[in-house]
Amino acid sequence: MSSLSDIEKEAREIVERAKKEADEILRKAREEAESLRSAEIDAPLSEDEIREIEGEFRVKLKKAQEDFERRRRVMEERYSRYKNEIVSRIVELVAGTAQGS
């Protein structure tokens, strides 16, 4: 059985990895958008093309944020479930009501 601190540590690590992934996606999207804005090109993009590209980045950003939030919720739910199970077990052991005691 994993200890509460192990579960907390795993939850923090997963949330941190998801945050880093989301930050990396955002960083790359910003870099690409900036390079497109500042690049000298022979045939500049039309305003419609620029809006389309920005829209694509917004969609990617929203998806990354939603994925991050989904992962965070799953980890929080998992953490809460394990924490409650461990606390209940400890209470049972301390109170002497645990099965098999």
The per-residue b/e assignment along 37-59, b for 16 or more CB within 10 angstroms, e otherwise, is eeeeeeeeeeeeeeeeeeeebee
For the chain, what is the mean pLDDT? Answer: 84
Asked whether the CA dihedral 81, 87, 91, 92 is positive or negative, the reply is positive
pLDDT band per the 50, 70, 90 thresholds, residue 80: confident
Query: Domain ranges in the chain?
Result: 4-95
CB-count burial class (<10 Å; 0-12, 13-18, 19+) for 88: exposed
pLDDT surpasses 80 at 50: yes
pTM, whole model, 2 decimals?
0.44
Range of 33-37, 49-53, 83-87 with top mean pLDDT: 49-53
∠ CA 26-31-37, rounded to 5°: 125
Q: Looking at residue 82, what is its pLDDT?
A: 85
Averaged pLDDT, 41-55:
83
